[in-house]
Structure 1
Amino acid sequence: MVSNTLFWLYLINSVLLIDHEIDSAYWEEWNIFKLPGGITGFLLIHIPVLFFVLYGLVLVFQQSYTGLIFSLILSFSGLFAFTAHMYFIKKGREEFKTPMSMFILSATLVVSIIQLVLTVKQLFNI
Protein backbone atom coordinates (compact mmCIF):
# COMPACT_ATOMS: atom_id res chain seq x y z
CA MET A 1 0.00 0.00 0.00
CA VAL A 2 2.80 2.46 0.87
CA SER A 3 4.53 1.81 -2.46
CA ASN A 4 1.30 2.46 -4.35
CA THR A 5 0.82 5.74 -2.48
CA LEU A 6 4.43 6.71 -3.15
CA PHE A 7 3.92 6.07 -6.86
CA TRP A 8 0.94 8.45 -6.96
CA LEU A 9 2.74 11.09 -4.89
CA TYR A 10 5.75 10.87 -7.21
CA LEU A 11 3.45 11.21 -10.23
CA ILE A 12 1.60 14.21 -8.76
CA ASN A 13 4.87 15.89 -7.77
CA SER A 14 6.31 15.24 -11.24
CA VAL A 15 3.29 16.88 -12.87
CA LEU A 16 3.52 19.87 -10.51
CA LEU A 17 7.25 20.31 -11.11
CA ILE A 18 6.90 19.93 -14.89
CA ASP A 19 4.06 22.47 -14.82
CA HIS A 20 6.31 24.75 -12.78
CA GLU A 21 9.02 24.41 -15.42
CA ILE A 22 6.51 25.44 -18.10
CA ASP A 23 5.74 28.46 -15.92
CA SER A 24 9.49 29.01 -15.56
CA ALA A 25 9.88 29.28 -19.31
CA TYR A 26 7.15 31.93 -19.36
CA TRP A 27 9.01 33.91 -16.67
CA GLU A 28 12.37 33.40 -18.43
CA GLU A 29 13.84 31.72 -15.37
CA TRP A 30 17.25 31.46 -17.02
CA ASN A 31 17.58 35.21 -16.36
CA ILE A 32 16.68 34.82 -12.67
CA PHE A 33 19.33 32.13 -12.13
CA LYS A 34 21.75 33.69 -14.65
CA LEU A 35 21.88 30.54 -16.79
CA PRO A 36 23.63 30.86 -20.15
CA GLY A 37 22.00 30.08 -23.47
CA GLY A 38 18.58 31.70 -23.10
CA ILE A 39 15.59 29.59 -24.00
CA THR A 40 17.74 27.17 -26.02
CA GLY A 41 19.98 26.38 -23.06
CA PHE A 42 16.96 26.16 -20.77
CA LEU A 43 15.26 23.62 -23.05
CA LEU A 44 18.47 21.62 -23.53
CA ILE A 45 18.97 21.36 -19.76
CA HIS A 46 15.44 20.02 -19.39
CA ILE A 47 15.88 17.09 -21.79
CA PRO A 48 17.94 15.00 -19.32
CA VAL A 49 16.09 16.42 -16.31
CA LEU A 50 12.69 15.33 -17.63
CA PHE A 51 14.11 11.97 -18.69
CA PHE A 52 15.35 11.28 -15.16
CA VAL A 53 12.10 12.50 -13.55
CA LEU A 54 10.09 10.13 -15.73
CA TYR A 55 12.60 7.30 -15.38
CA GLY A 56 12.33 7.71 -11.61
CA LEU A 57 8.58 7.22 -11.87
CA VAL A 58 9.19 3.88 -13.59
CA LEU A 59 11.63 2.86 -10.84
CA VAL A 60 9.18 3.84 -8.10
CA PHE A 61 6.47 1.82 -9.87
CA GLN A 62 8.86 -1.16 -9.94
CA GLN A 63 9.41 -0.64 -6.18
CA SER A 64 13.18 -0.65 -6.57
CA TYR A 65 15.65 0.79 -4.09
CA THR A 66 16.90 3.16 -6.80
CA GLY A 67 13.33 4.38 -7.18
CA LEU A 68 13.40 5.45 -3.54
CA ILE A 69 16.58 7.43 -4.21
CA PHE A 70 14.90 9.12 -7.19
CA SER A 71 11.91 9.84 -4.95
CA LEU A 72 14.20 11.54 -2.43
CA ILE A 73 15.78 13.62 -5.19
CA LEU A 74 12.39 14.66 -6.57
CA SER A 75 11.16 15.55 -3.07
CA PHE A 76 14.21 17.73 -2.44
CA SER A 77 13.79 19.30 -5.89
CA GLY A 78 10.27 20.35 -4.93
CA LEU A 79 11.48 21.77 -1.62
CA PHE A 80 14.24 23.65 -3.44
CA ALA A 81 11.83 25.04 -6.05
CA PHE A 82 9.52 26.42 -3.38
CA THR A 83 12.32 27.81 -1.20
CA ALA A 84 14.30 29.40 -4.05
CA HIS A 85 11.27 31.12 -5.52
CA MET A 86 10.06 32.39 -2.15
CA TYR A 87 13.55 33.82 -1.60
CA PHE A 88 13.40 35.69 -4.91
CA ILE A 89 9.86 36.90 -4.22
CA LYS A 90 10.94 38.22 -0.81
CA LYS A 91 13.84 39.99 -2.55
CA GLY A 92 11.29 41.87 -4.64
CA ARG A 93 11.18 39.81 -7.83
CA GLU A 94 7.79 39.95 -9.53
CA GLU A 95 7.99 36.59 -11.28
CA PHE A 96 5.95 33.67 -9.95
CA LYS A 97 3.55 35.90 -7.99
CA THR A 98 0.46 35.07 -10.03
CA PRO A 99 -2.18 32.99 -8.22
CA MET A 100 -1.47 29.96 -10.45
CA SER A 101 2.31 30.20 -9.98
CA MET A 102 1.83 30.45 -6.22
CA PHE A 103 -0.61 27.54 -6.22
CA ILE A 104 1.83 25.32 -8.13
CA LEU A 105 4.71 26.22 -5.81
CA SER A 106 2.62 25.76 -2.66
CA ALA A 107 1.18 22.45 -3.86
CA THR A 108 4.69 21.31 -4.74
CA LEU A 109 5.83 22.11 -1.20
CA VAL A 110 3.02 20.12 0.41
CA VAL A 111 3.36 17.12 -1.90
CA SER A 112 7.17 17.16 -1.59
CA ILE A 113 7.01 17.06 2.21
CA ILE A 114 4.54 14.18 2.22
CA GLN A 115 6.55 12.33 -0.45
CA LEU A 116 9.78 12.87 1.48
CA VAL A 117 8.30 11.51 4.73
CA LEU A 118 6.84 8.47 2.99
CA THR A 119 10.09 7.82 1.10
CA VAL A 120 12.21 8.01 4.26
CA LYS A 121 9.79 5.69 6.06
CA GLN A 122 10.06 3.19 3.23
CA LEU A 123 13.84 3.50 2.95
CA PHE A 124 14.35 2.78 6.63
CA ASN A 125 11.32 0.45 7.07
CA ILE A 126 9.86 2.73 9.73
Structure 2
Amino acid sequence: MSAEAKWAFITALDDELLKGGSTMSEWCAFIVRDCDYAFVGGANLATVIAATAAIETHLRAEYGYGKRVRLADLIDGAPIEQGLRDDIHNLRKYRNSWVHVTAPKDDEEIFENPEFHEEQLEEWAKIAQRTLRRTIYDNQWI
Protein backbone atom coordinates (compact mmCIF):
# COMPACT_ATOMS: atom_id res chain seq x y z
CA MET A 1 0.00 0.00 0.00
CA SER A 2 1.31 3.43 -0.87
CA ALA A 3 1.27 6.31 1.62
CA GLU A 4 -1.65 7.84 -0.28
CA ALA A 5 -3.58 4.58 -0.10
CA LYS A 6 -2.92 4.36 3.63
CA TRP A 7 -4.22 7.92 4.21
CA ALA A 8 -7.26 6.98 2.12
CA PHE A 9 -7.74 3.86 4.29
CA ILE A 10 -7.71 6.01 7.45
CA THR A 11 -10.08 8.55 5.91
CA ALA A 12 -12.46 5.78 4.82
CA LEU A 13 -12.48 4.39 8.37
CA ASP A 14 -13.29 7.84 9.73
CA ASP A 15 -16.08 8.30 7.16
CA GLU A 16 -17.49 4.87 7.95
CA LEU A 17 -17.29 4.98 11.74
CA LEU A 18 -17.68 8.63 12.75
CA LYS A 19 -21.33 9.56 12.34
CA GLY A 20 -21.59 12.31 14.95
CA GLY A 21 -19.10 13.95 17.24
CA SER A 22 -16.50 12.41 19.47
CA THR A 23 -14.17 13.75 22.12
CA MET A 24 -10.97 12.38 23.55
CA SER A 25 -8.21 13.58 25.79
CA GLU A 26 -5.32 15.44 24.23
CA TRP A 27 -3.04 12.57 25.35
CA CYS A 28 -5.15 10.16 23.33
CA ALA A 29 -5.31 12.49 20.30
CA PHE A 30 -1.51 12.80 20.35
CA ILE A 31 -1.07 9.00 20.38
CA VAL A 32 -3.69 8.54 17.62
CA ARG A 33 -1.82 11.03 15.42
CA ASP A 34 1.46 9.23 16.06
CA CYS A 35 -0.22 5.91 15.29
CA ASP A 36 -1.48 7.30 11.98
CA TYR A 37 1.98 8.55 11.02
CA ALA A 38 3.48 5.16 11.90
CA PHE A 39 0.87 3.39 9.76
CA VAL A 40 1.37 5.65 6.76
CA GLY A 41 5.15 5.36 7.13
CA GLY A 42 4.99 1.56 7.06
CA ALA A 43 5.96 1.03 10.70
CA ASN A 44 3.41 -1.71 11.20
CA LEU A 45 4.59 -2.99 14.58
CA ALA A 46 4.72 0.60 15.85
CA THR A 47 1.14 1.02 14.58
CA VAL A 48 -0.03 -1.99 16.57
CA ILE A 49 1.73 -0.80 19.71
CA ALA A 50 0.59 2.82 19.37
CA ALA A 51 -3.01 1.83 18.60
CA THR A 52 -3.11 -0.33 21.72
CA ALA A 53 -1.64 2.54 23.76
CA ALA A 54 -4.23 4.97 22.36
CA ILE A 55 -7.05 2.54 23.14
CA GLU A 56 -5.76 2.14 26.69
CA THR A 57 -5.42 5.90 27.12
CA HIS A 58 -8.95 6.47 25.84
CA LEU A 59 -10.49 3.76 28.01
CA ARG A 60 -8.63 5.09 31.07
CA ALA A 61 -9.86 8.62 30.41
CA GLU A 62 -13.44 7.48 29.84
CA TYR A 63 -13.87 4.59 32.26
CA GLY A 64 -10.77 4.32 34.45
CA TYR A 65 -12.03 6.61 37.22
CA GLY A 66 -8.46 7.38 38.27
CA LYS A 67 -7.75 3.79 39.24
CA ARG A 68 -4.63 1.89 38.20
CA VAL A 69 -5.85 -1.36 36.64
CA ARG A 70 -4.43 -3.77 34.10
CA LEU A 71 -5.44 -3.16 30.49
CA ALA A 72 -7.29 -6.49 30.32
CA ASP A 73 -9.39 -5.52 33.35
CA LEU A 74 -9.97 -2.03 31.98
CA ILE A 75 -11.29 -3.53 28.73
CA ASP A 76 -13.54 -5.96 30.61
CA GLY A 77 -14.90 -3.19 32.84
CA ALA A 78 -15.65 -0.71 30.06
CA PRO A 79 -19.30 -0.40 28.97
CA ILE A 80 -18.61 -1.30 25.34
CA GLU A 81 -20.23 -3.90 23.11
CA GLN A 82 -18.87 -7.42 23.33
CA GLY A 83 -17.60 -7.54 19.74
CA LEU A 84 -15.45 -4.45 20.29
CA ARG A 85 -14.27 -5.83 23.64
CA ASP A 86 -13.20 -9.07 21.90
CA ASP A 87 -11.41 -7.18 19.14
CA ILE A 88 -9.49 -5.05 21.64
CA HIS A 89 -8.46 -8.16 23.57
CA ASN A 90 -7.29 -9.81 20.32
CA LEU A 91 -5.23 -6.73 19.45
CA ARG A 92 -3.80 -6.63 22.97
CA LYS A 93 -2.82 -10.30 22.77
CA TYR A 94 -1.19 -9.83 19.38
CA ARG A 95 0.71 -6.79 20.67
CA ASN A 96 1.80 -8.83 23.70
CA SER A 97 3.20 -11.55 21.43
CA TRP A 98 5.67 -8.95 20.13
CA VAL A 99 6.24 -6.91 23.27
CA HIS A 100 6.53 -9.77 25.77
CA VAL A 101 8.62 -12.25 23.77
CA THR A 102 9.24 -15.38 25.82
CA ALA A 103 12.44 -16.43 24.08
CA PRO A 104 13.88 -13.44 22.18
CA LYS A 105 17.06 -15.34 21.33
CA ASP A 106 15.03 -18.03 19.57
CA ASP A 107 14.89 -16.01 16.35
CA GLU A 108 15.37 -18.69 13.72
CA GLU A 109 11.74 -18.41 12.54
CA ILE A 110 11.97 -14.68 11.91
CA PHE A 111 15.23 -15.15 9.99
CA GLU A 112 13.81 -17.93 7.84
CA ASN A 113 10.43 -16.37 7.10
CA PRO A 114 10.56 -12.56 7.46
CA GLU A 115 8.02 -12.01 4.66
CA PHE A 116 5.36 -13.92 6.61
CA HIS A 117 5.88 -11.71 9.67
CA GLU A 118 5.86 -8.51 7.58
CA GLU A 119 2.61 -9.51 5.85
CA GLN A 120 1.04 -10.49 9.16
CA LEU A 121 2.11 -7.20 10.75
CA GLU A 122 0.67 -5.23 7.83
CA GLU A 123 -2.70 -6.93 8.25
CA TRP A 124 -2.61 -6.37 12.01
CA ALA A 125 -1.77 -2.69 11.46
CA LYS A 126 -5.01 -2.36 9.48
CA ILE A 127 -6.92 -4.22 12.19
CA ALA A 128 -5.31 -1.94 14.78
CA GLN A 129 -6.42 1.19 12.90
CA ARG A 130 -10.01 -0.10 12.68
CA THR A 131 -10.12 -1.23 16.32
CA LEU A 132 -8.66 2.08 17.48
CA ARG A 133 -11.26 4.09 15.61
CA ARG A 134 -14.12 1.86 16.73
CA THR A 135 -12.97 2.50 20.30
CA ILE A 136 -12.52 6.27 20.13
CA TYR A 137 -15.78 6.68 18.17
CA ASP A 138 -17.76 4.27 20.35
CA ASN A 139 -19.59 6.88 22.43
CA GLN A 140 -20.54 9.54 19.85
CA TRP A 141 -22.87 12.47 20.27
CA ILE A 142 -24.90 14.16 17.58
Q: TM-score, with normalisation over the residues of structure 2?
A: 0.33
The structure richer in helix per residue is: 1
Q: TM-score, with normalisation over the residues of structure 1?
A: 0.36
